[in-house]
Structure 1
Amino acid sequence: MPFYLEYTVNQTAGIRSAVHGADIEEALAAASDVLTAAGCSTALLRFCPDAGPTAGEGDVVAVHTQTGGWEPA
């Protein structure tokens, strides 16, 4: 399924990355690994059936905050 993680590093660089996962649970686990490695505190996980969409496209399926973790959108 085409999931995309959008996040900001150091409040200056917006990043959009494809996240592999057969379903939302797998995508959230993979996205969590990316956020931990990047030292990011907030992010959006989007679903978009078309490959390669631009930033801001696709349905937001979950929102991540440092204090709350992943929450369904």
Structure 2
Amino acid sequence: MAESTFTVKGMTCGHCVSSVTEEVSQISGVRQVDVDLPTGKVTITSDEPVAEDAVRAAVSEAGYELAG
């Protein structure tokens, strides 16, 4: 198992959290997605390390962007 943490900009409510969780969960090998709304931190537990490009694309699909 691998764990990765990213920061998402622009989330303001529970719907934002749901959208990001749904899109990131669709990345191959992702087992769990935990979103901390106040900090924007998204922690991904997966079978293998997740490529940042895949996370960036999923977050973008949800309507947000990664910080940095």
**Does the TM-score normalized on the shorter chain lie above 0.5?**
no
**Higher share of residues assigned helix:** 2
Q: Which has the larger radius of gyration?
A: 1
**TM-score computed with the length of structure 2 as normaliser:** 0.40
Give the structure-1-normalised TM-score: 0.38
Q: Which has the higher contact order (CA 8 A, sep 6+)?
A: 2
Q: Choose between structure 1 and 2: higher strand proportion.
A: 1
